[in-house]
Chain A
Amino acid sequence: MSDVYIIGAGIHPFGRTEGRSGREQGIYAVREALADAGLKWQDIQCAFGGSSAAGSADIMVNELGLTGVAFTNILNGCATGGSSLAAAQYAVASGTFDLAMAVGFDKHPRGAFNFKPREYGLPSWYGQNGMMLTTQFFAMKIQRYMRLYGIRRETLGRVAEKAFRNGEKAAHAWRRSPVDLETIMNSQMVNDPLTKYMFCAPAEGGAAMILASQKKMNELGVTGIKIASIAVRTRPPNSFEVFQPGVSIVEGGKPTQLASAAAFEMAGIGPEDIDVAQLQDTESGAEIMHMAENGFCKDGEQEQWIAEGRTEIGGALPVNTDGGCIACGEPIGASGLRHVYENMQQLRGRASARQVPNNPKTAYSHVYGAPGISAVAILEA
């Protein structure tokens, strides 16, 4: 397997864009990524992408050009972006193609996501009974975690406060005004202990990456960022995930732990070597728990980390430097690639007011979603 580089990154601003479909937002991101790489659509040999609620990605050839490109649709829940990037990376690493594209986009209706039980292999009563909400899962996971490891409610608020503070500095973010801790803590309770401002909301947006082999990158005379590793994992036995009417009494592993360990092993580095990280923050408790699940700290150490500002942009490990899902919203298909976009900006020193100081060299991105899937990508400048 040969090294694969990202030579172009593009994004359509996240949030709400009236009059532009999800796919059009994806196309916008593709054109931006192509321009960033100095390429034309005709140069792209294969493409992978998808959305959760905005249609098939391959239809975008109508607008981009009927070049005969090998275009594969990816539909993998919250890991759609991560899985698209992984597929594009495999395609280039295998030597089959020299230039590949990964794209994700979405456009969701307002309010919490709604799911159909049968599509998740669950009985109808589970949905009818009012227990099939992803927000409840995250609330119950952090509720237990807070008591086991001494995480305080205020710490949940501080994570959201950081998200809005960082989002203000990111042109592609949705929520671009700071929200103070008191407002976050006193906003409407959604699922105890999580208030409205601690949650991300379904949104719209698109993101795209252009991948190249080292040979092709040199031929083109462009510089890229190396994909040091990428790992997609589904849940191991006895894990506790979204949408589980019954959970094993034996404590199992977690898909995030599997993906993280695999990605670190492939990259040959450890958590202590990472300069900036984008972690799935469906709500602020998820960011806290994912810090430990990805190996950056031990369970319970987050209290001290956050009190000391270690996850701030100027801290030891800046986390969610563009405000994460909390400030950007979550268009499912695009979200994982936004993480990678933000890491590209950071590693190329293009992150303007939110730039992590001292030229970060390594960047980590992580997604998690239903029904227990995680994807991790490590980039190296």
Chain B
Amino acid sequence: MQQPKPIDPNLWTNEAQPQLIGGKLPDGKIVFPMPEGDAAAEVEQFLLSREGTLWSWTSQEFRPKLPYDGPEDFEPYLIGYVELPGEVIVETRIVNTTLDKLELGMPMALTIISFDTERSTYAFQPESAQ
């Protein structure tokens, strides 16, 4: 079987302990994702923390229209925002948990999951699920 490819090659570092790739603005502010094109001028690449706390969340119960291009065979999924202390709050898939277990401020950690048969994407899971 072929190794799944990242949904975007510039989203996270390709290593055993991957990190999301953000940017550092000239004023020190951290942004996610790393800006592209002219907007990237003067923005320094900044690797984001792998751990944070849950800021908010919801479920996606129906298959979104385009531009979503996940599997036709739709399974509801969770998304949320995870606050990386001192850095930025990132929007992400939430995995290995259920709605009733989620609460504000719970510790979360980065993981890479399969998106479809060919591609992978990033997600956060409760630290306790590791």
Whether B101 sits at the interface, judged by CB under 8 Å, is: no
Candidate in B67, B70, B90, B121 with the most chain A CB atoms within 10 angstroms: B67
Residues of A within 8 A of B121 (CB): 125, 129
Q: How many residues of B contact A (CB 8 A)?
A: 44
Q: Is the CB of B89 within 8 A of A124?
A: no
Whether B51 sits at the interface, judged by CB under 8 Å, is: no
Known contacts A129-B93, A130-B68, A246 near B32 by CB under 8 Å: yes
Q: Is the CB of A114 within 8 A of B33?
A: no
Q: Is the CB of B61 within 8 A of A123?
A: no
Q: Is the CB of B79 within 8 A of A143?
A: no
Residues of B within 8 A of A194 (CB): 58
Which residue from A115, A143, A248 sits with its C-beta under 8 Å from B89? A248
Whether B15 sits at the interface, judged by CB under 8 Å, is: no
Q: Is the CB of A123 within 8 A of B58?
A: no
Bound together, the chains give a CA A141 to CA B82 distance in angstroms of: 13
- Taking the closest CB of chain B, its distance from the CB of A283, in whole angstroms, is 11
Bound together, the chains give a CA A140 to CA B60 distance in angstroms of: 11
Known contacts A125-B8, A191-B60, A246-B22, A136 near B32 by CB under 8 Å: no
Among residues of B, the one whose C-beta sits closest to the C-beta of A139 is: B58
- Taking the closest CB of chain A, its distance from the CB of B96, in whole angstroms, is 17
Q: Is the CB of A192 within 8 A of B91?
A: no
Contact with B along A236-255 (1 / 0, CB 8 A): 00000000111111000000
Known contacts A129-B115, A244-B91, A249-B83, A143 near B8 by CB under 8 Å: no
Whether A70 sits at the interface, judged by CB under 8 Å, is: no
Bound together, the chains give a CA A111 to CA B104 distance in angstroms of: 30
Residues of B within 8 A of A131 (CB): 79, 91, 93
- Taking the closest CB of chain B, its distance from the CB of A291, in whole angstroms, is 20
Whether A189 sits at the interface, judged by CB under 8 Å, is: yes
Q: Is the CB of B8 within 8 A of A140?
A: no
Bound together, the chains give a CA A193 to CA B121 distance in angstroms of: 25
Q: Is the CB of B60 within 8 A of A245?
A: no
Residues of B within 8 A of A117 (CB): 67
Bound together, the chains give a CA A191 to CA B63 distance in angstroms of: 11
Known contacts A130-B60, A191-B61, A114 near B66 by CB under 8 Å: yes
Q: Is the CB of B104 within 8 A of A144?
A: yes
Whether B99 sits at the interface, judged by CB under 8 Å, is: yes
Residues of B within 8 A of A124 (CB): 8, 67
Q: How many residues of A contact B (CB 8 A)?
A: 38
Residues of A within 8 A of B85 (CB): 249
Known contacts A128-B7, A192-B99, A143 near B67 by CB under 8 Å: no
Whether A112 sits at the interface, judged by CB under 8 Å, is: yes
Task: Mark out the residues of chain A between 92 and 146 whose CB falls within 8 Å of any chain B CB in the assembled complex.
Answer: 111-112, 114-117, 121, 123-125, 127-133, 136, 139-141, 143-144
Task: Mark out the residues of chain B between 52 and 86 whose CB falls within 8 Å of any chain A CB in the assembled complex.
Answer: 55-62, 64-70, 77, 79-81, 83-86
Which residue from B61, B68, B84 sits with its C-beta under 8 Å from A128? B68
Q: Is the CB of B7 within 8 A of A143?
A: no
- Taking the closest CB of chain A, its distance from the CB of B111, in whole angstroms, is 15
Among residues of A, the one whose C-beta sits closest to the C-beta of B121 is: A129
Bound together, the chains give a CA A193 to CA B61 distance in angstroms of: 11
Which residue from B60, B69, B103 sits with its C-beta under 8 Å from A133? B60
Among residues of B, the one whose C-beta sits closest to the C-beta of A192 is: B59
Contact with A along B1-31 (1 / 0, CB 8 A): 0000001100100000000001000000101
Q: What are 15 contact pairs spanning A and B, CB under 8 A?
A: A125-B8, A129-B93, A130-B70, A131-B79, A131-B93, A133-B60, A143-B57, A190-B61, A193-B58, A245-B90, A246-B33, A247-B91, A248-B88, A249-B84, A249-B89
Q: Which 8 A-B pairs have the closest CB atoms?
A: A127-B67, A246-B32, A139-B58, A144-B56, A125-B8, A247-B89, A114-B65, A140-B56
Known: A123-B36, A129-B68. 14 other contacts (CB 8 A): A116-B67, A128-B69, A129-B70, A130-B68, A130-B79, A133-B64, A140-B81, A147-B104, A189-B61, A190-B61, A245-B33, A245-B90, A246-B90, A247-B91
What residues of chain B have their CB less than 8 Å away from a CB belonging to chain A? 7-8, 11, 22, 29, 31-33, 36, 39, 55-62, 64-70, 77, 79-81, 83-91, 93, 99, 103-104, 115, 121
What residues of chain A have their CB less than 8 Å away from a CB belonging to chain B? 111-112, 114-117, 121, 123-125, 127-133, 136, 139-141, 143-144, 147-148, 188-194, 244-249
